[in-house]
Chains A and B, each alone.
Chain A
Amino acid sequence: MDSINIEGTPKTPTVKFDEQSGVLVIRGRSIPENSIDFYKPLNDWLDAYAEGDGQGLTLNMELEYFNTSSSKCILDVFKKLENISKQGKRVAVKWHYEEDDEDMLEAGEDYDAIIDIEFEMVKVEEI
């Protein structure tokens, strides 16, 4: 299947899948005014992945900021991962947060509580 590779901008994150390692990364700032448009290619790609013959993936969430408009779309991303996991594929989520950023840690805990995939919280110095 086609891979996904979206370059980041000051308002939207980098979205990249490395087929070799099975790692999908979402990195940077997610503060677009229209988040539905931005996340559509990723959500479509995840739908295709669920149907494809990929064995599973790890999502590295490395967000510096996200707005509430993105938060619903990010929830959709996790719901698609739940679906992929239900297809019997391996799914892991690593939620990165900067060491003094308790807001980002709490945001990860919110998603972890809603979604039926166990998150690994990864503390880093800087994103």
Chain B
Amino acid sequence: MEKKNIMLSFKGEMSTDLLTSILQIIENKLDRFGESSKVKKRMFNIMVECLQNLHHHITQPAKDAGKDMPSVIVMVAKNLTGYSIITGNFVEDKEVGDLKNRLEEINSMNSEEVKQLYKSVLAEGKMSEKGGGGLGMIDIARKSGEKLDFGFIPFGEDKSFFSLNVKVK
């Protein structure tokens, strides 16, 4: 990926203020690109979900991994076919199985099935403590219309680094 195509790149701690600033920067850039309001809305929606996921589900890496270890990464890039929203964060190994299963389940579905899944989780699912209720990833997949591109890299004794690349056209 050429450097000039990266619209925003960040590593560090996610906060509410930072989240707001990132959204603002991306909105301004999309305006400057003269992007259609449909793409702008999709980008905005997916970014909100991705960033709020990062904000809600942060696991710090092991202390002995070094003090300056970034807690999350966010990158937004423009490419020939559209945009990529890339996030990375640490997760507990014990959470990896569930998360991986959910993402693989979503990826195995066509767009109509993803839409039905969203509707059934919305109608029946219970709200989690953090208010998410498991809809975030489903919504991201539904709005992206592409398969979720993800990976887990083992990190230290009981953590993994989770990366997610969401494509928007």
Minimum CB distance partner of A67 in chain B? B48
* B57 part of interface (Cβ distance < 8 Å): no
Interface residues of A in 34-75 (CB under 8 A from B): 34-36, 64-65, 67-69, 71-72, 75
In addition to A69-B52, A71-B133, 18 A-B residue pairs with Cβ atoms within 8 Å of each other are A10-B20, A31-B48, A33-B16, A33-B55, A35-B131, A65-B44, A65-B48, A67-B49, A68-B133, A68-B135, A68-B136, A69-B133, A71-B122, A72-B127, A72-B135, A100-B38, A101-B37, A103-B45
Of the four ranges (under 10, 10 to 19, 20 to 34, 35 or more), the interface on chain B belongs to 20 to 34
Main secondary structure of the interface of B (DSSP, over half): helix
23 chain-A/chain-B pairs, Cβ below 8 angstroms = A11-B20, A31-B48, A31-B52, A33-B52, A35-B131, A36-B131, A65-B41, A65-B44, A65-B48, A67-B45, A68-B49, A68-B138, A69-B130, A69-B133, A71-B133, A72-B127, A72-B131, A100-B36, A102-B38, A103-B143, A110-B118, A113-B119, A114-B119
- Alpha-carbon distance between A15 and B36 when the two chains are bound, in angstroms: 28
Interface residues of B in 19-43 (CB under 8 A from A): 20, 36-38, 41-42
- Alpha-carbon distance between A68 and B135 when the two chains are bound, in angstroms: 6
* A82 part of interface (Cβ distance < 8 Å): no
- Alpha-carbon distance between A34 and B37 when the two chains are bound, in angstroms: 27
User: 0/1 per residue, A94-125, Cβ < 8 Å to B?
Assistant: 00001011111010001001100000000000
List chain B residues, Cβ under 8 A from A110. 118-119, 122
User: 0/1 per residue, B114-129, Cβ < 8 Å to A?
Assistant: 0100110011010100
Chain B residues within 8 Å of A, Cβ to Cβ: 16, 20, 36-38, 41-42, 44-45, 48-49, 52, 55-56, 115, 118-119, 122-123, 125, 127, 130-133, 135-136, 138-139, 143
- Alpha-carbon distance between A34 and B161 when the two chains are bound, in angstroms: 26
